[in-house]
Structure 1
Amino acid sequence: MIKRLLLISGFAFFLLPGMVTAQTITEDDEVEQQLLASTKQLNQFFSRFNGEEDTKGREFEPEDRQYRNARLRKRYLSILFDEENAGFSESLFEEFVERVTSDDQPVFLDLHSADWFATVNTTFRYKGRSWPLVLYMKIQQEGLGYEWVIDDLSFEPYKTLFDKQRGETKEFLHPMSHELDFMNLRKAMVKDGSPESYTMADFEPDFLTIFLYEVKMGYLTFETVNRVNFNFFTVDGWYFSLNNFNRPGYNTGWLISDLAKINSQQKEDLLKILYDKK
């Protein structure tokens, strides 16, 4: 942790090379240094992670020798992690930095990659009250450009909407129902019943379609976005999440708050947790 703090201090000093001693730094200079150190926009996080801009936010041209320079990237990566509440070790941080800046196989973030997504915590009005609703957003190509789209959602009232029975208590249509012209469907299609019990064994409800229908019908109305964070699986064998920290000092803005080394099974399990499928 000490090493990382020293790197941040060195970065802040490097922002204004004319500053020779601590006594010469004015209050305005300090504010300017903090603003420059803060990763205020997501695009800036990408640029700093990739080493595509200088210490004052000016972009490098691809032919510039500092463009994606491994040494510069290590300097930037040290300020792209949450220093106050990080739940991972210093050794894990160092291993991750060495992995993404390796000479033989460096890793760069791509805004248009399919290996990351946004978790958007919102509030919707539903049946006379405000409910939290989580939208999972991804970027997809559309025509000559790209767009953010809704990939999935998590909404508490939907979780119990289709509570399919199992085993001996499961309702079913008699195997000879065809001899009755399926008129016994009457017992399945009743209000407050469990019509999902009469579906295929592998039936899974499509909550996104239900959500879109209820929004179109006016049963669900958007109120606000409460919080956004981003989940990355861009680096093979790793996961990290990005959150926005609004606080005084240099360690602010979009920062990596969670970091984990994962195998393929752990990735699958983690995706289920993130998408609230467990």
Structure 2
Amino acid sequence: MALVFLSPFSVSAQIGNYLGDESDLYAATKQMNQFFRRFNHEEDKLGNKFDPSSKEFRNNADRKEYINILFDGQNKAVPQNVKDDFVNQVTNSANPTFLEFHGGDWFAEVTTRFVYEGREQDLTLFMKLQEEKVGSKWVISNVYFEPFAKIMGKDIQDPTKFLHPLSHELDFMNLRKIFDEPQKLKEVKNYVEANHKTDYVSLFLYEVARNALQFKTVTNVKFHFFQIDNWYLEVSRFNRGGYNNGWLISNLARITPQNKDVLLNYIYSNGN
């Protein structure tokens, strides 16, 4: 996975040129909604929204300059030509691409702290916008919690573990061999249907319902975008001095339809 690079000096220079003497006041992208507007060039340097009928609204020439200052300037892992390819694609005059708040294919990764088994532990909630008849709302779509992962393991079965096809003639009393020995309880997954997938959301809801998980706080938020064809971008918040702060593109990678699922699995498993 690649990370976009702009040197901190060049980013500061671009921001200063674009925003003028008041750049220190206006450079920070303070809210995600503002990130959308800046990426799409829907507001001016002071944060005033453009009239959709104006020539400035979603102006591609200005977008190209504006998008360049929305990258985390301290990332050093991606060649400049990769960033240029991305910017050129989304600002293509014949077929420009914009980020849409209600466009789907983006979600939040929310790192939280819960008390579980007597101590505070990190738990990641993946949240997406769900469209309703009137408006929309954020909902939990996936969960990653290391204690769940340790207990459940991978969704891989051992073909040598099975119940004989004539088990019904024994009234399934041979189920005893699965449940009688505590050390074998983690092997129960070998006896469920082959396409079963562990549902961490249901585990999470169960543990919350019995008060085994107690919410403490949110420690970090970032967003993952798959809206732009053949690209993945991550947006994170940076609280630091200088111009290059607020909500910025913290990660950028070319993707194909084939490796999109691989990347999603990587994100949902916290890289494990």
TM-score higher than 0.5 here? yes
Q: TM-score, normalised by structure 1?
A: 0.86
SS of the counterpart of 2:73?
coil
- Structure 1 267/197 Cα, relative in aligned 2: closer, same or farther at 3 Å? closer
Q: Once the 2 structures are TM-superposed, how far is the Cα of residue 70 of structure 1 from its aligned partner?
A: 0.9
Identity across aligned pairs (percent)? Answer: 45
Higher Cα Rg, which structure: 1
Q: Which residue of 2 aligns with 1:253?
A: 246
Once the two structures are TM-superposed, the CA of residue 219 in structure 1 deviates from its matched residue by 0.9
2:29 to 34, 39, 46: 39
CA contact (8 A) 2:113 2:217 kept: yes
The 5 A counterparts of 1:144-155 are 144-155=134-145
Q: Distance in 2 between matches of 1:226 and 1:191?
A: 40
Structure 1 gaps of 5+ residues are 17-31
Aligned-pair Cα RMSD in Å: 2.0
State the match for 2:41 in structure 1: 51
> Which one of the candidate residues 14, 19, 26 is aligned to 1:7?
14
- Equivalent residue pairs, number: 259
CA contact (8 A) 2:111 2:219 kept: yes
CA distance change for structure 1 residues 54 and 127 in 2, over 3 Å: closer, same or farther?
same
Which residue in the other structure is 1:106 paired with?
A: 96
- Report deviation, 1:134: 1.0
Partner in structure 1 of residue 210 of structure 2: 217
Partner of residue 255 from structure 2, selected from 258, 262, 265: 262
Counterparts of 1:207 and 1:217 in 2: how far apart (Å)?
15
Task: State the match for 2:159 in structure 1.
Answer: 167
- Separation of aligned partners in 1, 2:181 and 2:117: 17
What is the one-letter code of the residue matched to 2:218? V
- Equivalent AA in structure 2 for residue 124 of structure 1: F
Kindly state the Cα deviation for residue 36 of structure 1 after the two structures are TM-superposed: 0.6
Cα distance between partner residues in 2 of 1:127 and 1:234: 39
SS of residue paired to 2:65: helix
Contact 1:88 1:258 (C-alpha < 8 Å) held by counterparts: no
- 1:202 counterpart SS class: coil
Q: Which runs of 5+ in 2 are unaligned?
A: 1-5
Q: Which residue of 2 aligns with 1:142?
A: 132
SS of the residue corresponding to residue 132 of structure 1 reads strand
Moved more, 60-69 or 83-92: 83-92
Tell me, in whole angstroms, the C-alpha distance in 1 between the residues paired with 2:149 and 2:128: 22
